Structures are given as C-alpha cells and as structure tokens.
Amino acid sequence: MLRPVSALLIIDAQAGLLEGGGAIPDASELVERLATVLAAARSAGALVVHLQNDGAPGTIDEPETTGWFIHPRLRPIPDEVVLRKTSDDGFEGTELETVLVREQVTRIAVVGLLSEMCVSATVRGALARGLEVVLVRDAHGTYNLEDIPSSIVSRVAEHALGDEIELVNAASVTFIRPGGLDAAG
C-alpha cells in the first residue's frame, strides 16, 4: 500500500500552458486531475507548494502576463506557499528546501508541467536532497516533441528518473499533515 505524503508540489500550473493556443495537448483533462490531487492535499492538511515559472520576455510565462498566472482552477489559497523560479529545478534559487525542512517534510508528491523539464529537474533536486518522491503519473504533462506524442514524452521522462521514485495515479495518492497527523488529528 502506498504510504501517504505530507506535501504536494504543483509545478508551473500556469494559465498559458493549460489554456488557450499555447496549451499542452489534453490540458483540460490534466487540469481536472491536478484539481483532484490539490483538493485531496488540502482536505488532509498537507503542505501545498505552488512553483511558478518566471519566463523570459515574450514567452508564454513572462511575469505579469495572462499566461504567467496560476490557472484559475488551481489558484493558491492564503495558507499555501507560492515560490517563483527562473530555472527548471524548483529548488534552485528558491526557498523550497527551507520550506520543506521547516515543515519537517520528507516525502512529497509532485505534479505539474513540463514533464521532461521542470518536473524532472525538480524531482532530481528532491532526490539529491534525500526526499522521497511520489510522481503522480497522470497529473503531469508536456507538449508533443516533433513527431513524438506528449503522452510518450511524459512516460519517457518518468522512466528516465529511475527506480528511486514511486509512480502512482491521481486517484491513489494520499496525504497527511506534515508531522504525520491527518486532518482529524
């Protein structure tokens, strides 16, 4: 049985990647699964961290442009952490490690965009810091890569991470409060 996690990292769930002309394939389905995982984390009292990419001028995620904002269905609530980043690894140049250590988090679930870039780099960063990682396989996504469908790119990105991660579906991941207490405790 899958052990629960005490933190959810939502990587780059930004409007420009999830809606409109710049959206990844199957974005609306991904938003639904992200919302499901987010609701489960919130209801259990898990730590929720939103990573938000600050793209270069003229890109879909340029700061303060429409595409940069976190998708409306996934917007942070007041007690959730939002960390802006400028590199693929969500640990690099952010307070992510400090937040996780402060909250005594050792096991995280990771979801978001893009599978082979920021998701992979952040998972590798977490593993390098000794964290246990659960990658929610149906709650991360990316673009097609030339003639390779996005679903294949995502699967290859998962397998490239090796056997140190746990792969689960959105319906299977469970959460607890940091410190091991569930929402009732």
CATH number at residue 121: 3.40.50.850
Domain annotation covers residue 173? no
Please state whether 93 falls in left (phi above 0), alpha (psi between -120 and 50) or beta. left
Q: Is there a domain that residue 14 lies in?
A: yes
pLDDT on residue 19? 97
Give the total number of structural domains in the chain. 1
Q: Measure the CA–CA gap between 42 and 19, rounded to whole angstroms.
A: 24
Residue-level pLDDT at 179: 84
Amino acid at 101: V
Q: Note the pLDDT of residue 163.
A: 95
The pLDDT profile of the chain, 185 residues, written as one tens digit per residue, is 689 999 999 999 999 999 999 999 999 999 999 999 999 999 999 999 999 999 999 999 999 999 999 999 999 999 999 999 999 999 999 999 999 999 999 999 999 999 999 999 999 999 999 999 999 999 999 999 999 999 999 999 999 999 999 999 999 999 999 986 555 44
The reply to whether 82 falls in a domain is: yes
Catalytic-residue membership of 81? no
Is 182 within the bounds of a domain?
no
The predicted structure's pLDDT at residue 160: 97
Does residue 123 belong to any structural domain of this protein? yes
Q: Residue 1: count other Cβ atoms within 10 Å of its Cβ.
A: 5
Listed in sequence order, the residues at least 6 apart from 102 whose beta carbon sits closer than 8 Å to its beta carbon are: none
The residue segments making up the domain with residue 146 are 7-168
Q: Which of 118, 133, 135, 136 is catalytic?
A: 118
184 found inside a domain = no
What pLDDT is recorded for position 2? Answer: 82
Q: Is 0.75 topped by the overall pTM?
A: yes
Q: Identify whether 185 is part of a domain.
A: no
Measured from the Cβ of residue 149, the count of other Cβ atoms closer than 10 Å reads 13
Contacts of 136 (CB under 8 A, 6+ apart): 33, 37, 109, 110, 111, 168, 169, 170, 173
